[in-house]
């Protein structure tokens, strides 16, 4: 990290790191709640399913609140620890990940899905692993150490998700199967959102990598 005399003369507001840490935790917790729901849905009671769905919605709402706080306080802060645009872009994309996670939960709720194909469970595992890596990355923004290793790991997971998505589409449309048209449509929409989650989390890693390059 480069030494900057201005940091000594004008201390920077580090509260933005705390806000971003909170949002990264919301993504991790929401991803874990979704993964737990998907993997165990067949054995969960309706009340237990509702609790997990509510938790995912709650994390999304909390993320919205933190993003609004960041936007408000960026306008009133003289010196920020990172470029204002970088903080805003990172918060906006973290909020997007929470929005898509909520979207997945809404599909499960509205379509009353109570049995998950193996491919959906594989997506859930990739999402949980990606979310853990992004949480580690964001929490280390103060020092920006070991960024490349974690970003590379996230990109590897994104590639796995991309391959998995194409396999899912092949299973739905390219094979003789017992899926009815309505079930195929439901699963197609679900797979598309699951891939979006992974892509959005992977993009958070790319943003952190860009910050690392900019600040050294």
Q: Are 77 and 95 in contact (CB under 8 A)?
A: no
Whole-number Å distance between alpha carbons of 94 and 70: 12
Name the phi and psi angles at 142, rounded to 5.
Answer: -65, -35
For 86-96, what is each residue's pLDDT tens digit?
999 999 999 99
Q: What is the pLDDT of residue 176?
A: 55
Closest to 117 measured CA to CA, from 175, 199, 55, 54: 175
Name the band, by pLDDT with cuts 50, 70 and 90, for residue 185.
confident
The more confidently predicted of residues 20 and 147 is 20
Q: What is the pLDDT of residue 173?
A: 80
Residues 6+ apart with CB under 8 A from 68: none
Task: Tell me which long-range contacts 166-172 makes (C-beta under 8 A, separation of at least 24).
Answer: 167/119, 168/119, 171/117, 171/119
Helix (H, G, I), strand (E, B) or coil at 75: coil
What's the DSSP call for residue 115? -
Residue 33: what are its φ and ψ, rounded to 5°? -65, -40
What pLDDT is attached to residue 178?
A: 56
pLDDT at 34 over 80: yes
* All domains of the chain in start order, with CATH: 11-215 (1.20.58.220)
Check whether 199 has a pLDDT greater than 90: yes
Separation of alpha carbons 107 and 40, rounded Å: 17
Please report, for residues 32, 155, 200, 208, the alpha-carbon distance to residue 162 in angstroms, rounded to integers and kept in the order given.
Answer: 20, 10, 13, 21
pLDDT at site 9: 40
């Amino acid at each position: 990290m480069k030494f900057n005399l201005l940091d000594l003369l004008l201390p920077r507001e580090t509260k933005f790191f705390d806000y971003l840490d909170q949002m990264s935790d919301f993504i991790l917790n929401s991803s874990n709640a979704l993964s737990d729901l998907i993997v165990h849905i067949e054995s969960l009671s309706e009340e237990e399913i509702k609790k997990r769905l509510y938790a995912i919605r709650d994390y999304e709402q909390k993320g919205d609140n933190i993003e609004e706080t960041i936007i408000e306080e960026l306008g009133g802060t003289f010196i920020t620890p990172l470029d204002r645009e970088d903080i805003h872009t990172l918060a906006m994309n973290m909020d997007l990940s929470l929005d898509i996670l909520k979207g997945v939960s809404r599909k499960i709720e509205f379509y009353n899905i109570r049995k998950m194909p193996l491919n959906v469970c594989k997506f859930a595992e990739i999402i949980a692993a990606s979310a853990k890596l992004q949480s580690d990355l964001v929490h280390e923004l103060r020092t920006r150490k070991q960024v490349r290793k974690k970003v590379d790991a996230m990109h590897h997971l994104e590639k796995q998700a991309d391959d998995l998505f194409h396999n899912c589409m092949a299973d739905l449309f390219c094979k003789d199967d017992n899926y009815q048209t309505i079930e195929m449509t439901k699963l197609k929409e679900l797979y598309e959102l699951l891939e979006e989650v992974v892509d959005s989390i992977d993009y958070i890693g790319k943003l952190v990598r860009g910050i690392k390059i900019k600040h050294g």
